[in-house]
Amino acid sequence: MRESHTNSSIGGGGREAAFNVNGLRATMNNFLLDGVDNNAYGTSNQSFSSQVVQVSPDAVAEFKVQTNTYSAEFGRSGGAVINASYRSGTNEFHGVAWEFHRNRF
């Protein structure tokens, strides 16, 4: 028998980057990318990702997760505020290789 796991508070097949904070649904989190709104309002209740842009782990310079007592500038949500920053660029050619794998069960 196969056991079904879900990260979504609504149910179904799970949602990418979904987690519950402060007892609220995953859709109550606020995602920011370089301080700009990165929330998918149209699809966030349909078991799709709550983020418009999903940045590759190699492109992220830093991220910060705040779960309470954040300032009024982040006042959109009662859940968590996730603020990610892109890595700054350069004019030199370079490349990386990586693999990102998660087991579903």
Residue 7 has pLDDT above 50, yes or no: no
- Average pLDDT of the chain is 75
In tens, the pLDDT along 12-60 reads 445 565 788 888 887 788 889 998 888 877 755 565 667 788 888 878 8
State yes or no: pLDDT of 5 exceeds 50.
no
Q: Where are the domains of the chain?
A: 1-88
Rounded Cα–Cα distance for residues 82 and 63 (Å): 7
Residue-wise pLDDT tens digits, 66-75: 888 888 887 7
Sheet holding 30-33, edge to edge: 36-37, 30-33, 81-86, 60-66
